[in-house]
Structure 1
Amino acid sequence: MLSVTALSALAAACSPLGALNGVNRLTPGDGGVRQLVDGAAFGPDQRQRLDVWAPSGSAAALPVIVFFYGGSWKSGDRSGYGFAARALAARGFVVVVPDYRLVPQVRWPAFVEDGAAAVRWTVANIAVHGGDPARIAVMGHSAGAHIALLLALDQRWSVAGTIKAAVGLAGPYDFRPFTAGGAADLALGNAPDLADTQPINFARADAPPLLLLHGTADTTVLPRNSERLANAITDLGGRAAVKLYDDVGHIGILLALSKPFRGKATALADASNFLLTALAPAASAP
């Protein structure tokens, strides 16, 4: 097994997906967790598949997280994110990790449509796998956080009402203008109205509670994205909080979900504690 130092070098030297596959293969996983579903279809395309993870042996219906990975809307595969699913499941959640269609196969809004379809699959099917369809949150990293927050805030995707909380890791929420030929331009630049691609434009007082996590050393997606979205929500009277981690970068905040890197940032504890509170069962009437 690689040391933390060696894994840090791997993360720095490899592509993000390569680093995450390395984390999956070479680090100790969280115990007491099992994969219940491998590749269930939520649409006809081969990219419209998802996995489900859950704690072992739980009898009660558990809160649910639909986790969207990042990759600039052009790369990524659910197989690289078992470490994140296991970490969250070990904290008491049923975790759904969907793939979604990517650039250049598709452009805006196909990946958000796929995210909405994955949430609808979760509502319809998660009870069979021990999850509570009335207690669903979305969570994502980078481009996945962009998808997650659009689903939670923009009611046109027809799933916002089923999403009870959202957590974003290093997400882009207010990032216009796009750099010509850059990842955002290639993925989102075809939108008839570019304002529709920005989660901040759907801030509302009745949004589900949000927790936006960001590293101060992130130069890929600047922390001001999280700060501006949280301010937009709270200015309207909604509930949103930001937590910044000193000296943590764009990939580092995601790696902090894995065991060897949890000393770098408390992202796992912060996200899971927030969601356990936000998704707590409603109190029974006396």
Structure 2
Amino acid sequence: MNHAPLTPQPPLPFPAAQRYEDTVLEWARGLDARSLRARDQAYGPDPQHRYDVFAADGMRGAPVLVFWHGGGWTNGYKEYVHFMAEAVIRRGLVLVAPTYRLAPGHRLPAAYDDAVLLLGELRRTVGRWGGDCRNLYLAGHSAGGGTAAMAALRKPALERAGVPPGDVRGCLPISGVMDLHHPCPGPGSLEERVYATLLERPCEDTLMSAISWTAGNLVPMVSSYGERDSARVIGANTRMHELLKRQPADAGLHAWTGLDHFDTHLALADPAHDWYGQLESLVARTCR
């Protein structure tokens, strides 16, 4: 699949992140383009308000998976998600791969606001490619997982965007960054980066964390992380799961043996990976 040159971004913070990016972008370049139905569709005024759509021929009324890329809210491209297209389409879903405004130029909640802006736009457009806007499934990796969870959990924001909250049928974040609060971030750490580049004010760390929005949740949430993920990702997802279990919607949590933070997304190159089975099962239970 041929891609236009990607807009340069700041250097990634450590080598493992760069290796991950190099891998998924190489996979995107090697994909068969026949399932790509739309590229660089605008959903807002900013150049980062863009999404790509993958679907099979003849799809009608198909559920829609929206998968947000990771990158710490400072980096990342929608092309990170392209390698998943075949496995998602094979299960009868339309795949939407968006990007969003990035920090520090656009600090949180910009990415979260963009997520609901996109869902409002899909309500009007996704039928062109055979998708059903009444059956939305939200997912993402790392920062994208946190963004997906915030989109699912912030019901007032969905309503303001013209999206009935009941149209979001499920959420499946992978290694999601769910808690931005840290009492004493170390110099040069990723936690310090949150306060230096992501937040408008340090006191907004809890407000911008998905773990703070679980009360009364009505969206089934199936979260996953890697056994070798960061301690903060593991801890936040575990604590959030305990909160979600006490809400009206179903909640599941899966720890994947032997995988680190980037492996949890790279593993989805296997179309038989358990995550796709979890997606398929959730759709079977909740799609109307």
Q: Give the TM-score category using the shorter length.
A: 0.7 to 0.9
Q: Distance in 1 between matches of 2:145 and 2:135?
A: 19
Residue 56 of structure 1 aligns with an amino acid whose one-letter code is: D
Alignment-derived partner of residue 87 in structure 2: 87
Shift, 1:117, TM fit? 0.9
Residue 174 of structure 2 aligns with an amino acid whose one-letter code is: L
TM-score by length of 1: 0.83
Alignment-derived partner of residue 268 in structure 1: 276
Alignment-derived partner of residue 18 in structure 1: 22
Residue by residue, what CA displacement relative to the aligned partner does 1:86-109 show, whole Å, maximum 9, x if unpaired? 321222111111110111221111
Instruction: Identify unmatched segments of 5+ residues in structure 2.
Output: 1-14
Alignment-derived partner of residue 194 in structure 1: 205
Shift, 1:232, TM fit? 0.1
1:209 aligns with 2:220: yes
Query: Structure 1 stretch 61-70 or stretch 166-175: which is displaced more?
Result: 166-175
Residue 19 of structure 1 aligns with an amino acid whose one-letter code is: T
Instruction: Identify unmatched segments of 5+ residues in structure 1.
Output: 1-10, 282-286
Residues 1:129 and 1:242: Cα distance change in structure 2 (over 3 Å): same
Alignment-derived partner of residue 72 in structure 1: 72
Query: Structure 1 stretch 81-90 or stretch 140-149: which is displaced more?
Result: 81-90
Residue 26 of structure 2 aligns with an amino acid whose one-letter code is: G
Q: Distance in 2 between matches of 1:41 and 1:226?
A: 32
Q: Distance in 2 between matches of 1:103 and 1:176?
A: 17
Query: Structure 1 stretch 189-198 or stretch 132-141: which is displaced more?
Result: 189-198
Q: What is the DSSP-based 3-state SS (H/G/I as helix, E as strand, rest coil) of the residue aligned with 1:222?
A: helix
Residue 131 of structure 2 aligns with an amino acid whose one-letter code is: G
Alignment-derived partner of residue 43 in structure 1: 44
Residues 1:203 and 1:224: Cα distance change in structure 2 (over 3 Å): same
Alignment-derived partner of residue 175 in structure 2: 170
Q: Distance in 2 between matches of 1:233 and 1:134?
A: 23
Query: Structure 1 stretch 148-157 or stretch 15-24: which is displaced more?
Result: 15-24
Do the aligned partners of 2:216 and 2:248 also contact (CA within 8 Å) in 1? Answer: yes
Do the aligned partners of 1:66 and 1:137 also contact (CA within 8 Å) in 2? Answer: yes
Do the aligned partners of 1:63 and 1:279 also contact (CA within 8 Å) in 2? Answer: no
Do the aligned partners of 2:218 and 2:248 also contact (CA within 8 Å) in 1? Answer: no
Q: Distance in 1 between matches of 2:248 and 2:17?
A: 43
Alignment-derived partner of residue 245 in structure 1: 256
Residue by residue, what CA displacement relative to the aligned partner does 1:151-200 show, whole Å, maximum 9, x if unpaired? 11122322570312101000021342173663322343324533211111
Residue 163 of structure 1 aligns with an amino acid whose one-letter code is: V
Residue 87 of structure 1 aligns with an amino acid whose one-letter code is: A
Residue 134 of structure 1 aligns with an amino acid whose one-letter code is: R
User: Among the aligned pairs, what percent are the same residue?
Assistant: 24
Shift, 1:279, TM fit? 3.7
Do the aligned partners of 1:150 and 1:199 also contact (CA within 8 Å) in 2? Answer: yes
Shift, 1:201, TM fit? 1.2
Residues 1:144 and 1:278: Cα distance change in structure 2 (over 3 Å): farther
Residue by residue, what CA displacement relative to the aligned partner does 1:221-250 show, whole Å, maximum 9, x if unpaired? 532222211110112343110011111111
Residue 150 of structure 1 aligns with an amino acid whose one-letter code is: M
Q: What is the DSSP-based 3-state SS (H/G/I as helix, E as strand, rest coil) of the residue aligned with 2:259?
A: coil
Do the aligned partners of 1:70 and 1:143 also contact (CA within 8 Å) in 2? Answer: yes
Residues 1:65 and 1:13: Cα distance change in structure 2 (over 3 Å): closer
Do the aligned partners of 1:51 and 1:97 also contact (CA within 8 Å) in 2? Answer: yes
Q: What is the DSSP-based 3-state SS (H/G/I as helix, E as strand, rest coil) of the residue aligned with 1:107?
A: coil
Do the aligned partners of 1:216 and 1:245 also contact (CA within 8 Å) in 2? Answer: yes
1:127 aligns with 2:127: yes
Residues 1:140 and 1:13: Cα distance change in structure 2 (over 3 Å): closer
Shift, 1:144, TM fit? 0.4
Q: Distance in 2 between matches of 1:168 and 1:13?
A: 18
Q: Which aligned pairs between 1:101-120 and structure 2 lie closer than 5 A? A: 101-120=101-120
Do the aligned partners of 2:37 and 2:54 also contact (CA within 8 Å) in 1? Answer: yes
Q: Distance in 2 between matches of 1:280 and 1:13?
A: 35
Q: Distance in 2 between matches of 1:80 and 1:170?
A: 15
Residues 1:183 and 1:277: Cα distance change in structure 2 (over 3 Å): farther
Alignment-derived partner of residue 3 in structure 1: none
Residues 1:84 and 1:183: Cα distance change in structure 2 (over 3 Å): farther
Residues 1:211 and 1:132: Cα distance change in structure 2 (over 3 Å): same
